[in-house]
Amino acid sequence: MLKQFKKYIKSQAKTQDTKDLPCIYEQINRNPKFQLKHQENIIGYLNYENSSWNFYYSDWFKNQNDLKPLFEFPLKEKNYTSKELWPFFESRIPSLKQPRIQNYLESHPMDSNDKVKLLQVFGITSINNPYKLLSL
């Protein structure tokens, strides 16, 4: 049934502008998780659940004093929740106008409105910071 649904969505995507398509990724993967790393150390975890983004620091990070907390997440002990993806993570998604991103979206039209999927595909590294964002 899922294959039939995907086939239907793909056929509809060819006849519609992709900005009008619903984001169905959450229906397929209900709790995508990411791990933010610096070198080999886990800094924290990002996940998307029940239409909310969540970020919290790892135990390793909480117990060290060499690295400072991220600007948007100043308190090590706090679990952060937001309906919107924080700019620290959003900046990892390249502009959808870039040619390589447009090429990807032509073959994956359902991903154009899916920040989770775009983070998984393009958000591993960033020129803005030395951290890696790995999908779990």
Residues forming beta bridges with residue 44, ordered by sequence position: 36, 57
Specify if 2 maps to a domain.
no
Residues forming beta bridges with residue 52, ordered by sequence position: 49
Give the domain range for residue 110.
24-135
**pLDDT higher than threshold 90 for residue 62:** yes
What's residue 44's pLDDT? 97
What is the number of alpha carbons within 13 Å of residue 65 lying toward its C-beta? 0
Q: What is the mean pLDDT of residues 27-40?
A: 77
Looking at the structure of the chain, the number of domains it has is 1
66-83 pLDDT, tens digit per residue, is 999 999 999 999 999 999
**pLDDT higher than threshold 50 for residue 93:** yes
Specify if 17 maps to a domain.
no
Specify if 106 maps to a domain.
yes
Q: What average pLDDT does the structure give for the chain?
A: 82
**pLDDT higher than threshold 50 for residue 26:** no
Specify if 4 maps to a domain.
no
Specify if 78 maps to a domain.
yes
In terms of pTM, does the model score above 0.75?
A: no
CA 57 to each of CA 1, 37, 41: distance values in angstroms, whole numbers, following the listed order: 39, 11, 11
